[in-house]
Chains A and B, each alone.
Chain A
């Protein structure tokens, strides 16, 4: 996009052009066509609560955010797309430092009705961290989770994140987490995604 842009910014631009392929889902670079589904997912009671969203997201608001996103070179937003093409969520890696010291993962939203149907969130998290550590060569990824979001805290612990502090946003307590590249050990969790893809292939004849 920008010939003389810093290396990290160029890598971000390249990552915005192609999906990151997984076994049960792909991370597809976010585009306007995803607005409707992502707005619906973010406006569920559960997502609004855990994302501490002060008001329902609107199409105009999302379009405005997307316009500013396109001008950034430190932010990667993806739709989480199942192999059958269904958009099952969205996630992001942002605040990507030029010096490769860190980035933050967040803005995760997923269809709660599908949580038992496949490791969609798990593989989305793994693919995002693969991008962070293997393709952007970052040294650490941080995230924060609402203090009563036990499910996400547990998933972060599975991924190797360690508690690094806490802070308050608009009166709500958040726990801070940090994962360094040397602690990232995705293979046991990746095996679950692979096993599920194989199982789906056996039960349905082709991966979903």
Chain B
């Protein structure tokens, strides 16, 4: 278990990065830690909703309205998914 945990965590990070990259139509080498709603040009209101839908599908969760509203950075996504039992 102590060996597997970091692998699972790394997998979640990779999956989360892939979701962001696809939903926001980002370049493959983008620095995800610098992404911010409406500061990153691709992360507009439409992309935000596409991101929420993609996150829910990828991690099999249903985000609360407060989660949807507070999601503004990549770090926020790890925090929100963490509350839904997804470890990072």
Alpha-carbon distance A195/B54, docked complex (angstroms) = 10
In chain A, residues 107-131, which have Cβ atoms closer than 8 Å to a Cβ of chain B? 115-119, 121-122
Which stretch from B6-14, B28-36, B41-49, B78-86 is at the chain A interface? B41-49
User: Which of A117, A158, A192 is B68 in contact with, Cβ under 8 Å?
Assistant: A117
A116-B46 contact given A151-B38, A192-B53, A203-B62, CB 8 Å threshold: no
A192-B49 contact given A151-B38, A199-B56, CB 8 Å threshold: yes
Question: Does B50 interact with chain A (Cβ within 8 Å)?
Answer: yes
Whether the Cβ atoms of B53 and A155 lie closer than 8 Å is no
Add 14 more A-B contacts to A116-B68, A121-B45, A196-B49 (CB < 8 A): A115-B45, A116-B45, A116-B71, A119-B46, A122-B45, A122-B46, A150-B41, A154-B44, A155-B44, A155-B46, A192-B50, A199-B56, A202-B62, A203-B62
Q: Can you list 26 residue pairs at the A/B interface with Cβ under 8 Å? A: A115-B48, A116-B45, A116-B48, A116-B68, A116-B69, A118-B49, A119-B45, A119-B49, A122-B45, A122-B46, A150-B41, A151-B38, A151-B45, A154-B41, A154-B44, A155-B44, A155-B46, A158-B46, A189-B46, A192-B49, A192-B53, A196-B53, A199-B52, A202-B62, A203-B62, A203-B65
Question: Residues on B close to A: CB < 8 A?
Answer: 37-38, 41-42, 44-46, 48-50, 52-53, 56, 62, 65, 68-69, 71
